[in-house]
């Protein structure tokens, strides 16, 4: 398990894995973790993840597993064997799926004689607003739905949830300090919102209770990605 516990995770959402690895090679594991999502994983498979782990990065494997319990359990076991710091599943998969994932992660970590990665549940995607949920047949708004799913994840002994930083205060009040909150949709002041709807600045996200911040395009598409990351860390009081 990496020795560092940086607050910012840089989202390497690249189709070309060589671009992602070239950027990662410029970054410092003490200053950030790395998030690998579906696009790069489908193109390149697990080898880039192994490279990042070997370089000392905390890796968040963001594949949002959502399937029958046995399939998700097997996928979580494979992710655990990669040595990632954190992985996620969809809370909408239900109690049986969440507990199967939890048991698989813990059991595989014991077999590997390593600490278990954080197992995080996805609640409501940050691209969805209240109107979208209503269209999908949910009477509750985004915050209410997210808190409901987060409570289920906690009851199933998962380590935390992915949620919007807008929802983080409600999560903290309901679920306590130990439950981890991982927040995408983070945009430094002055950045474009892109396709995110519920966005928050890094400083505001931490003030709202976020543990880890996922930041993609404001860093990866910056003229100086290393400098952009340093600016975010500086705003959070993290020394370079």
Q: Is 153 within the bounds of a domain?
A: yes
Q: Is 1 within the bounds of a domain?
A: no
- For residue 234, the model assigns a pLDDT of 95
Other beta carbons within 10 Å of 107: 15
Q: For the chain, what is the mean pLDDT?
A: 92
Radius of gyration of the chain (CA): 17
How does pLDDT run across 177-205, given as a tens digit for each residue? Answer: 999 999 988 988 655 544 444 468 999 99
The CATH number linked to 69 is 3.20.20.70
Please report where in the chains the tokens 């020394």 appear, as a residue. Answer: 239
Please report where in the chains the tokens 């954080």 appear, as a residue. Answer: 118
Q: Is 24 within the bounds of a domain?
A: yes
Please give the structure tokens belonging to residue 110.
Answer: 């014991």
The pLDDT confidence band at residue 3, using thresholds 50, 70 and 90, is: low
The pLDDT confidence band at residue 125, using thresholds 50, 70 and 90, is: confident
Q: CA nearest 1: which of 147, 114, 136, 161?
A: 114
64 is catalytic: yes
Q: Is the pTM of this model over 0.85?
A: yes
Q: Is 240 within the bounds of a domain?
A: no
Q: Could you tell me the residue range of the domain that residue 210 belongs to?
A: 8-235
Q: Which long-range contacts (CB under 8 A, 24 or more apart) does 52-55 make?
A: 52/24, 53/2, 53/82, 53/83, 53/84, 55/24, 55/29
Distance CA 108, CA 36 (A): 21
Q: Is 40 within the bounds of a domain?
A: yes
Q: Is 3 within the bounds of a domain?
A: no
Q: Is 149 within the bounds of a domain?
A: yes
Mean pLDDT of 148-166: 94
Please report where in the chains the tokens 């992985």 appear, as a residue. Answer: 87
Q: Is 41 within the bounds of a domain?
A: yes
Helices within 113-224 (DSSP H only): 130-135, 142-155, 168-175, 202-207, 217-220
Total domain count, the chain: 1
Mean pLDDT of 8-27: 93
Asked whether residue 70 carries a pLDDT value surpassing 70, the answer given is yes
Please report where in the chains the tokens 């509750």 appear, as a residue. Answer: 140
Phi then psi for 6, rounded to 5 degrees?
-70, 155
Choose the catalytic residue: 64, 134, 174, 180: 64
């Amino acid at each position: 398990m990496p020795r560092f516990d940086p607050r910012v995770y840089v989202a390497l959402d690249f189709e070309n894995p060589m671009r992602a690895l070239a950027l990662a090679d410029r970054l410092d594991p003490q200053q950030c973790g790395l998030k690998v999502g579906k696009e790069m994983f489908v193109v390149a498979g697990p080898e880039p993840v192994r490279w990042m782990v070997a370089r000392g990065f905390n890796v968040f494997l963001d594949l949002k597993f959502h399937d029958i319990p046995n399939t998700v359990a097997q996928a979580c076991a494979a992710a655990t064997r990669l040595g990632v710091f954190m992985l996620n599943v969809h809370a909408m998969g239900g109690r049986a799926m969440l507990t199967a994932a939890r048991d698989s992660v813990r059991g595989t970590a014991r077999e590997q004689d390593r600490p278990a990665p954080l197992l995080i549940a996805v609640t409501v995607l940050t691209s969805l607003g209240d109107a979208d949920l209503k269209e999908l047949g949910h009477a509750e708004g985004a915050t209410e739905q997210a808190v409901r799913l987060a409570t289920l994840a906690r009851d199933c002994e998962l380590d935390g949830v992915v949620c919007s930083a807008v929802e983080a205060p409600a999560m903290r009040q309901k679920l306590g300090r130990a439950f981890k909150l991982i927040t995408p949709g983070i945009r430094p002041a002055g950045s474009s919102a892109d396709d995110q709807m519920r966005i928050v600045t890094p400083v505001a996200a931490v003030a709202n209770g976020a543990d880890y911040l996922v930041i993609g395009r404001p860093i990866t598409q910056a003229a100086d990605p290393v400098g952009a990351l340093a600016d975010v860390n500086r705003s959070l009081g993290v020394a370079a």
